[in-house]
Amino acid sequence: MKLSLIGFMGSGKTSVSQQLAKKLGLNCMEMDWFALQQNGCADMAALFEKGGEILLRETEIELARDWRDARDVVISTGGGVVMNKIITDYLKENDGRVIFLHVPFETIRERIKIDTTPRPLFEDADAARDLYNFRLPLYKRYADIVVETEDKSIDEIVEIIMNLIKK
Ligand code: S3P
């Protein structure tokens, strides 16, 4: 089984992927972590300083290509993978299913306020809202499954996904 979670920054991809992988006995692959390792960077601020957003996007394409034949994995993607359709094409290879965690922007904004992870593309809330509005149709278009996550716990979201993938 190959599952990939997509969604905007702060949509819970990491927590849900970890819990989902645990429940299904799969490996959890955090794309951001691999991108940082591959470029020898401690965090996204350092990666953006090294090569800008384009370095992240190129690395994401390489990782998704390397993982085309991955099995028994839950891939937690970075929020920007929908900027390159080739990435979601790779994620869907080998019967991969792409799951979008939908969260309203205002909820995301509240979450990110209290999160200290460096996010170079979320430094300005208005610019982040524009980015969210731009990407929303892309997440929906590339997703095989859309999960409405507002007011739901991680366990509830995982439960919903587990039921949906049985179908
Ligand atoms: C980004 C999302 C981040 C990270 C980078 C850029 C984006 O990942 O890849 O800061 O373009 O939305 P998360 O969605 O895991 O925060």
Residue 89 to residue 86: CA distance in whole angstroms = 5
Cα separation of 135 and 129, whole Å?
Answer: 10
32, 111, 116, best to mutate for ligand 1 pocket (most atoms within 8 Å of CB): 32
Mean pLDDT of 16-32: 98
- Would you place residue 128 in the very low, low, confident or very high pLDDT band (cuts 50, 70, 90)? very high
Please provide residue 159's backbone torsions phi and psi, each rounded to the nearest 5 degrees: -60, -45
10 C-alpha to center of ligand 1: Å? 9
pLDDT at 17 (0 to 100): 98
DSSP state of 25: T
How high is the mean pLDDT of the chain? 97
Residue closest by Cα to atom 11 of ligand 1: 80
Q: How far is CA 144 from CA 23, 46, 106, 112, in A?
A: 21, 33, 25, 26
1 pLDDT higher than 90? yes
Question: Given this model, what pLDDT does residue 167 score?
Answer: 72
Average pLDDT over residues 98-104: 98
Q: Is 79 in the pocket of ligand 1 (CB under 6 A)?
A: yes
Summarised one tens digit per residue, pLDDT across range 28-84 is 999 999 999 999 999 999 999 999 999 999 999 999 999 999 999 999 999 999 999
pTM: 0.97
Supply the pLDDT for residue 8: 98
Residue-wise DSSP of 111-129:
HHHT--S--GGGSSHHHHH
Gap from CA of 31 to ligand 1 centroid (Å): 10
**Span from the CA of 79 to the centroid of ligand 1 (angstroms):** 4
Nearest CA to ligand 1 atom 9: 78
Q: What is the pLDDT of residue 115?
A: 87
State how far the Cα of 35 lies from the Cα of 154, in Å rounded to an integer.
25
Under DSSP, is residue 2 helix (H, G, I), strand (E, B) or coil?
strand
